[in-house]
Chain A
């Protein structure tokens, strides 16, 4: 299914959900896993707490269905709600943070090649050190890193999710990469030429 078709479906599902709330389950089923992963990456919250946030995200999505701006993709819109809800919860309640979430190996490959450290990939404890380094970044940089390199979103989409101008997103991504390299360098993970 092409992205356009998927979006067309989302718009149709939104219309159907407005008429019959049972159809909203299609949206939940489609986005639940993706959003769960995104929230986990962003905060390292405990599973129970993520469950609560996720519920809140879908309830807010349902309540605000009429506010869905069709000039955006539905995916960007629901990610925006999830992002805002997660960040608000994160600021309010940091005690639910569990052990550092480890980025999956496949994602790590893409990401580490992006900042020229892929040769270090197979070293012992690399994954842990790398994820720790990301968690040391400021919240806004962490968000753009995950959205760009792990979720694979483009600048426009990230701009729609974080509600910041695309130029700002590009700046954040560059700064995030630079800061991440510095942190990795301090941890003994070097960039190759």
Chain B
């Protein structure tokens, strides 16, 4: 009975409360603004996703696939080493937040995860290709990536994999080729290059301050050259430069050298 009486009065109570607390319906623009806010955030996450994709595309375009067997045991370890984890992780983060944000828009809840994820991924990929064409991929990977700790941009990564003297790989910048041949390694150290069977002919094409990649043997007194890579983009032509008679026997057991012979 008491409950029934209470129930009957609920409209009066509510209207009374509305009057007492001077409650008013929120203006329409507040709801409109909220919807615009979420859509804007959603679009921003897709743009950021697109920028991440452009960095991924840039990285994959600049991986020197032709060298994989010189620096790595197989294509699998090479690929794993070069996967741009940072940009893929950021893409996943943007897609995740994009999904949450789109769900918060007026009709966002109607779309399934599959649809939202599909549209977001597709949009990010399309934007990614556009941004790559504009050159954003390089800017993000090189300029932004350098500021992220533990991240190596593709340019540096392409160099780092050659900075393994004990494994027969060396990279550096030529300091001097007048009398003794020295390079500055990636670690900033000066290293003497031992002029093996390469001969002067090979050195003549090199100039100071030029970056050079070499295959050879790490010795106490320096790095013994077996082969100098002249053009990182044309690995197949590399070995044609050197006649078989000039090839060093000492280098035959150097793994990257053997791989190069088989090319």
Interface residues of A (CB under 8 A from B): 18, 21-22, 24-25, 28-29, 32-33, 36, 47, 51, 54-55, 58-59, 62-67, 69, 71, 159, 163-168
Give the residue name and chain of the B residue nearest to A26 (CB).
B11
Residues of B within 8 A of A66 (CB): 25-28, 30-31
From the candidates B10, B11, B26, B111, name the one contacting A51 in the complex (CB within 8 A): B10
Q: Is the CB of A24 within 8 A of B18?
A: yes
Which 4 pairs show the lowest CB-CB distances between chains A and B?
A163-B109, A67-B31, A28-B11, A25-B11
From the candidates A63, A165, A168, name the one contacting B25 in the complex (CB within 8 A): A63
From the candidates A54, A62, A71, name the one contacting B10 in the complex (CB within 8 A): A54
From the candidates A18, A22, A59, A159, name the one contacting B110 in the complex (CB within 8 A): A159
B146 at the interface (CB under 8 A from A): no
Knowing that A47-B3, A58-B14, A63-B26 touch, tell me 6 more A-B residue pairs with CB under 8 angstroms: A21-B19, A28-B11, A32-B11, A54-B10, A64-B31, A164-B109
Q: Is the CB of A62 within 8 A of B109?
A: no
User: How many angstroms from the CA of A32 to the CA of B12 in the assembled complex?
Assistant: 12
Q: Is the CB of B10 within 8 A of A24?
A: no
Q: Is the CB of B15 within 8 A of A22?
A: yes
User: How many angstroms from the CA of A164 to the CA of B3 in the assembled complex?
Assistant: 35
Give the residue name and chain of the A residue nearest to B17 (CB).
A59
Residues of B within 8 A of A167 (CB): 112
Residues of A within 8 A of B12 (CB): 25
Given contacts A59-B17, A159-B109, A165-B110, whether A65 and B25 have CB atoms under 8 Å apart is: yes
B187 at the interface (CB under 8 A from A): no
B23 at the interface (CB under 8 A from A): yes
User: How many angstroms from the CA of A141 to the CA of B26 in the assembled complex?
Assistant: 33
Residues of B within 8 A of A29 (CB): 11
Q: Is the CB of B23 within 8 A of A59?
A: yes
A-B contact number at CB 8 A: 72
Binding site secondary structure of chain B: helix
Residues of B within 8 A of A51 (CB): 6, 10
B234 at the interface (CB under 8 A from A): no
Q: Is the CB of B11 within 8 A of A165?
A: no
From the candidates A32, A67, A166, name the one contacting B26 in the complex (CB within 8 A): A67
User: How many angstroms from the CA of A8 to the CA of B19 in the assembled complex?
Assistant: 27
Residues of A within 8 A of B25 (CB): 18, 62-66
User: How many angstroms from the CA of A55 to the CA of B10 in the assembled complex?
Assistant: 7
User: How many angstroms from the CA of A21 to the CA of B13 in the assembled complex?
Assistant: 13
CB distance from B155 to the nearest CB of A (A): 44
From the candidates B3, B11, B23, B110, name the one contacting A166 in the complex (CB within 8 A): B110
User: How many angstroms from the CA of A65 to the CA of B107 in the assembled complex?
Assistant: 17
User: How many angstroms from the CA of A33 to the CA of B109 in the assembled complex?
Assistant: 28
Given contacts A55-B10, A167-B112, whether A62 and B18 have CB atoms under 8 Å apart is: yes
From the candidates B18, B111, B112, name the one contacting A21 in the complex (CB within 8 A): B18
Given contacts A21-B18, A165-B112, A167-B112, whether A62 and B11 have CB atoms under 8 Å apart is: no
Interface centre among A22, A36, A69, A165 (most CB of B within 10 A): A165
B147 at the interface (CB under 8 A from A): no
Report B1-43 CB contacts with A as 1/0, cut-off 8 Å: 0010011001111110111000111111011000000000000
Give the residue name and chain of the B residue nearest to A28 (CB).
B11
Q: Is the CB of A62 within 8 A of B106?
A: no
Q: Is the CB of A55 within 8 A of B112?
A: no
Q: List 13 A-B contacts (CB under 8 A).
A: A21-B18, A32-B7, A32-B10, A47-B3, A54-B10, A55-B10, A55-B13, A62-B23, A66-B30, A159-B110, A165-B112, A165-B113, A166-B110
Give the residue name and chain of the B residue nearest to A58 (CB).
B14
Residues of A within 8 A of B6 (CB): 51
CB distance from A21 to the nearest CB of B (A): 6
User: How many angstroms from the CA of A59 to the CA of B23 in the assembled complex?
Assistant: 8
Residues of B within 8 A of A166 (CB): 110
Q: Is the CB of A165 within 8 A of B7?
A: no
